[in-house]
């Protein structure tokens, strides 16, 4: 049986009984219209009538150009030229990301600031960031949105084999000035976690117009509270009731402001300072959030708890260290 060779050493998905299908299409081929040689509930085999792209095929057959990766992964290395035969999977064949070698995990990278040259540990230089994006591109990674990750967690959707989420916390202007053009250049997207008090508050802050522009380009904007306070910390002299009301305000007001400014339903939150406790998690859920992101280290399997997702903080570092942080397969050792 033919196998779909995904990038290098990664796990491989079967090509849906391609051999059998090709045999069948010799029988059924002539009777199908369009480019279809053979069609089942699971896939179409298509002989291209003209040059096209995976995006155009995804739009036509999967009703979503962003699912072009499904077609690319089923036809590794293919050029979508007139006369070529391609396979178009119609079902999510591996929604849990389970393989003989192990299970798929999604690294969620976390950045804060960017600059030409950095002095802070929370800053990554423009040149290092470019090198990291180039590494991801050259090694077949695709950025997915938290929306896609949420569907993967709920066992509703498969995601690309080498999926990574890029998050940028706090709302520094360099997310727009430096990161945005570079990410677009590489065809990547990212999710910004904003604490609403900081927007337009200082010369280093991002603006609502810039956030709207990034959102229009397919980026996600999510909540990082109103004031970036430690959600688990009661202030000196603060009553329990006052503390609980204040924290609920941090969660609901930041969501309401983002919803209003960006015309969206904000459902993702990053905990300021990565601080949460059992009570906070209950409030986060009650406030309407589906995903909560921490700064605890790790990557995300399909069975992860959606309210305490681990991330991978990225600093100025060499590419060897970076490459170890973006592994997308956790081996299962059977001994
Ligand atoms: Zn922060």
Asked whether residue 238 is domain-assigned, the answer is yes
The pLDDT of residue 276 is: 98
| Domain with 319 in it | 99-331
Residues 243 and 317 grouped into a single domain: yes
Phi/psi at 4 (5° precision): -85, 110
Q: What confidence score (pLDDT) does residue 23 get? A: 46
* Domain termination site, one of 89, 112, 131: 89
Domain membership of residue 94 (yes or no) is no
One domain for residues 34 and 182: no
* In a shared domain, residues 78 and 111: no
Cα-to-centroid distance, 78 and ligand 1 (Å): 42
The pLDDT of residue 258: 98
Query: Which pLDDT value is given to residue 170?
Result: 97
Contact present, 29 and 98 (Cβ < 8 Å) = no
**In-domain check, residue 283:** yes
Q: How close is the Cα of 170 to the center of ligand 1, in Å? A: 5
Q: How far is the CA of 209 from the centre of ligand 1 (A)?
A: 21
256 and 302 share a domain? yes
Residues 184 and 48 in one domain: no
Same domain? For 320 and 237 the reply is yes
Distance 88 CA to ligand 1 centre (A): 42
In a domain, 220, yes or no: yes
Residue 173 lies in a domain: yes
Would you say 257 and 196 are in contact if contact means Cβ atoms under 8 Å apart? yes
Q: What is the pTM of this model?
A: 0.84
Please check whether residues 28 and 167 belong to one and the same domain. no
- Which string of DSSP letters, residue by residue, matches 108-127? EEEE-EEESS--STTEEEHH
| Alpha carbon of 270 to ligand 1 centroid (Å) | 8
The alpha carbon of 107 and the centre of ligand 1 are apart by a number of angstroms equal to 18
271 C-alpha to ligand 1 centroid (Å): 8
One domain for residues 158 and 70: no
Q: CB neighbours of 14 closer than 8 A, spacing ≥ 6?
A: 1, 3, 4, 93
Residue 251: inside a domain: yes
Which of 89, 114, 137 is where one domain is finished? 89
213 shares its domain with 149: yes
Domain limit, last residue, from 89, 124, 141? 89
Say yes or no: 235 and 295 in one domain.
Answer: yes
**Cα 66 to ligand 1 centre (Å):** 30
Query: Is the separation of the CB atoms in 67 and 53 below 8 Å?
Result: no
Interval between CA 212 and ligand 1 midpoint (Å)? 20
In this predicted structure, what is the pLDDT of residue 334? 60
pLDDT confidence of residue 327: 86
Which CATH number covers residue 292? 3.20.20.370
SS3 (DSSP) at 284: helix
Q: How close is the Cα of 311 to the center of ligand 1, in Å?
A: 13
Instruction: State the distance from the centre of ligand 1 to the C-alpha of 175, rounded, in angstroms.
Output: 13
Q: What separation in Å is there between the alpha carbon of 193 and the centre of ligand 1? A: 8
Do 10 and 74 lie in one domain? The reply is yes
Task: Report how far ligand 1's centroid is from the alpha carbon of 273 (Å).
Answer: 6
What spacing in Å lies between the alpha carbon of 169 and ligand 1's midpoint? 5
Region of 283 (left: φ > 0; alpha: ψ -120 to 50; beta: rest) is: alpha
Residue 171: predicted pLDDT: 97
Residue 77 maps to a domain: yes
Number of domains in the chain: 2
Expressed in angstroms and rounded, the spacing between residue 154 Cα and the centre of ligand 1 is: 27
Q: Residue 132: which of 319, 311, 299 has the closest Cα?
A: 319
Identify whether residues 170 and 293 lie together within a single domain.
yes
> Is 134 a member of any domain?
yes
**Which portions of the chain are predicted below pLDDT 70?**
1-34, 333-335
Please, which residues bridge with residue 86 across strands?
Answer: 46
């Amino acid at each position: 049986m033919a196998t779909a060779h995904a990038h290098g050493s990664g796990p491989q998905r079967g090509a849906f009984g391609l051999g059998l299908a090709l045999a069948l299409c010799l029988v059924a081929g002539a009777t199908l219209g369009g480019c279809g040689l053979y069609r089942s509930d699971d896939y179409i085999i298509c002989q291209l009538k003209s040059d096209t792209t995976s995006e155009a095929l995804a739009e036509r057959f999967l009703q979503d150009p962003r699912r072009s990766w499904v077609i690319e992964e089923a036809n590794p290395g293919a050029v979508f030229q007139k006369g070529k035969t391609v396979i178009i999977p119609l079902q999510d064949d591996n929604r849990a990301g389970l393989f003989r070698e192990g299970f798929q995990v999604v690294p969620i990278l976390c950045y804060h600031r960017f600059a030409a040259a950095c002095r802070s540990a929370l800053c990554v230089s423009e040149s290092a960031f470019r090198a990291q994006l180039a590494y991801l591109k050259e090694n077949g990674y695709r950025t997915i949105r938290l929306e896609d990750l949420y569907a993967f967690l709920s066992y509703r959707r498969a995601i690309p084999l080498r999926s990574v989420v890029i998050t940028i916390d706090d709302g520094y202007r360099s997310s727009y000035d430096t990161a945005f053009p570079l990410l677009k250049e590489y065809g990547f997207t990212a999710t910004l976690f904003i604490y609403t008090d900081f927007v337009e508050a200082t010369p280093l802050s991002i603006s609502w117009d810039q956030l709207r522009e990034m959102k229009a380009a397919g980026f996600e904007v999510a909540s990082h509270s109103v004031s970036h306070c430690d959600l688990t910390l009661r202030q000196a002299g603060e009553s329990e009731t006052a503390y609980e009301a204040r924290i609920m305000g941090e969660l609901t007001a930041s969501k309401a402001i983002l919803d209003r400014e960006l015309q969206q339903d904000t459902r993702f939150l990053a905990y300021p300072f990565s601080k949460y406790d059992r009570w906070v998690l209950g409030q986060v859920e009650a406030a309407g959030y589906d995903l909560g992101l921490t700064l605890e280290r790790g990557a995300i399997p399909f069975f992860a708890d959606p309210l305490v997702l681990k991330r991978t903080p990225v600093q100025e570092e060499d590419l060897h260290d970076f490459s170890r942080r973006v592994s997308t397969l956790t081996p299962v050792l059977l001994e």
